[in-house]
Structure 1
């Protein structure tokens, strides 16, 4: 199964969310996971390389990948349909190399924030994605959410996004999220992410993975 984590807007927490989800799937759900880091900063891959120094056994592999290389990788992934590939996308929409990535995705996880710029970028990302892959399932994850978000704003945004997919519970803006590595998630983070990831797993991943 191919899952992409993306949004047009940078700074929405894609890379940290990718690592958190990879840790959850590999460690909690015992799935065979590969992470493909296509973001220009390649922060997931850098964390993975840094973790290798500790000489601990990695729960999954992280591959740094250019968009142009993806079509060849897609054939390799297709040979192992029971495995899960997580793709951390670059924060842009103006590259034709994204087309095969969008077309092959079975699930898209889209982190966003409750502000006007993030909302507009998320809607644009969703419209483009739907044109390329009309059948893809989209799950929106409110990410790095501060406590002062107005309920009316949250309700209005959720209503608009539900025209494209489903919206999970919020992940708050917490400093301990930044201590997540490709080896482990801090114990203090698990009570926050488990309700969100359990819902995504049960509704979108479980049957395909089995």
Structure 2
């Protein structure tokens, strides 16, 4: 049996999402429409095409639950919106103090996963707000700073991007995170070399976009 077309999948995801938003739907109806194991996949599909209405709906779902796992799932997905302005709202929210310190970095994941523009936006935001983020995490475990660094550069795959990361942390050293930053740089450079090799190989074609960032 062939898979349904992408448009049909998106429509079905939107239909199920509306069940979650329906105040008259019972918990059982909501669970049947969106089983726990499918929530993240559904959120991602909805948010990749989301405008302000769906964005606000997701934020409403976040506010309506006290379940930490459910909140983290929303944080990881809400930044997938194609809207630069809405992604900026997500990033501002991340460092507003409204989120638990141990969880705030999850919001960067959706922004960087939204595509090239989202990655560039998230990394620029991190650099522009580095002093504030560093202050936020002054007494926290170094692992939290490592996490936000990783999530704000997730998907980077060019030597130029690696150089920008390296230059930034040379100018703004984080001794407690130096090992994780070194690992990150190694990973980005390895991916860049692999991507360049694929671009130069017979595997590359006009049908495949190997653009890097």
TM-score, normalising length: structure 1: 0.34
- Structure-2-length-normalised TM-score: 0.33
Determine which structure has greater relative contact order: mean sequence separation of CA pairs < 8 Å that are 6+ residues apart, divided by chain length. 1
Q: Give the number of the structure whose residues are more often strand, by fraction.
A: 1
- Which structure has the larger Rg? 2
